[in-house]
Amino acid sequence: MKLLLDSTRCQGYGLCQEPAPDQIDLDEWGYASVRVTEVPPGGEADAEAAVAACPNSALRLVK
């Protein structure tokens, strides 16, 4: 499973990082970057929560 970010949709809210801090970094303005696109074993629930937390649907999971 991969966690993908559409950076053109990210508005810098930073809400996605709280549920998945090991997978998502935020820059100094709150814009997200995916640290590792491949979701680590046991990290699926965190990745799903990060996707759900994004108000602009900038994140998605792909199998």
Domains of the chain: 2-57 (3.30.70.20)
Asked if residues 38 and 12 have their Cβ atoms less than 8 Å apart, the reply is no
Asked if residues 59 and 22 have their Cβ atoms less than 8 Å apart, the reply is no
Does the pTM surpass 0.85? The reply is yes
Residue 44, helix vs strand vs coil: helix
* pLDDT score for 6: 97
* pLDDT score for 36: 78
* pLDDT score for 17: 96
- Over the chain (63 residues), the average pLDDT of each successive run of 10 is 96 96 95 92 96 97 95
* pLDDT score for 9: 97
Structure tokens at 4: 């993908």
Helices of type H across the chain: 44-53
